[in-house]
Amino acid sequence: MKRVPAFQVILRADNQQCMAAEVLSRWETAGQLVGPAAMGPSLDWAEVDLALVQQLAGIAHELTDYPRLFINVSPQTLGAPAAHFDLWRNAVAKLQTAGHVSVVLEITEAVPDLPLASRWRALTELGVELALDDFGMAFSTPARLRDYPWTYCKFDVRRITGAGHDILFCQDNRIRAIAEQVESAALSQMASDLGITWQQGYYHHKPTVLGTMAWKK
């Protein structure tokens, strides 16, 4: 079973311009891609995060079609011992300087407060941008949105109707709101009506492996 990065494009819904891609860990077997759920509960996310970034750094010269790469950071990585965290951090630094893309580290909703606070400075010193993922879920709270200087905040479009004040906060503070889980024209329009033109989801494009570029029209 081969580990491969899959890229799900983040588009501007008004003109279909590629603004970024989220990089997802996938495994290729029998010609198909499977996600982490198929790998079982014993998956070592600190190892997965490190391997993914190292793999991306090795192919950085091939990633010119994506202006930005959004890369998830797990609680296991942020809470890892210093030796492992530094390996991961050095791999991110190499990716940031090796290619022609900007790196965005996406802090997942599962990251508790303490590891985020303890590693925040180390993350910002990389010179990357930071995104709050899955706003409104688990630890991705309104307080967290307001306590850190994010560049991006991702909203699940299926729960977006109750997040009006938080979307306005993003707009007032130059935090780019991104609608994810956009799986229909109606959901895309709902996000656009709220001023969220950066969108991600199966309605626009599914994750693809490098070389397919299925998002291009």
The alpha carbons of the chain give a radius of gyration, in whole angstroms, of 17
CA dist., res. 111 & res. 49, Å (int): 14
pLDDT in tens, 14-54: 999 999 999 998 888 777 777 776 666 777 899 999 999 99
pLDDT in tens, 90-106: 999 999 988 677 999 99
Please give the pLDDT value at position 43. Answer: 79
Homologous superfamily of domain range 2-209: EAL domain (3.20.20.450)
Task: Label residues 127-141 b or e (16+ Cβ within 10 Å = b).
Answer: ebbbbbbbbbeebbb
Residue 114 pLDDT > 80, yes or no? yes
* Statement: the pTM of the whole predicted model exceeds 0.85: yes
- What pLDDT, on the 0 to 100 scale, is given for residue 212? 54
Going by pLDDT thresholds of 50, 70 and 90, the confidence category of residue 204 is very high
Question: 56: helix, coil or strand?
Answer: helix
Q: Where are the beta strands (DSSP E) in 56-169?
A: 68-73, 102-107, 129-132, 152-156
Q: Where are the domains of the chain?
A: 2-209
Residues 180, 200 contacting (CB under 8 angstroms): yes
pLDDT > 50? residue 214:
no
Query: Lowest-confidence range among 4-13, 57-66, 121-130, 143-152?
Result: 57-66
Stated as kind and residue range, the H or E segment containing 122 is: helix 113-124
Q: How confident is the model at residue 217 (pLDDT cuts 50, 70, 90)?
A: very low
Angle at 208 between CA 206 and CA 214, to 5 degrees: 80
Q: In whole angstroms, how far apart are CA 133 and each of 17, 84, 118, 142?
A: 22, 23, 18, 12
- At 37 the pLDDT is 67
Question: Confidence band (pLDDT; 50, 70, 90) for 216?
Answer: very low
pLDDT of residue 215: 42
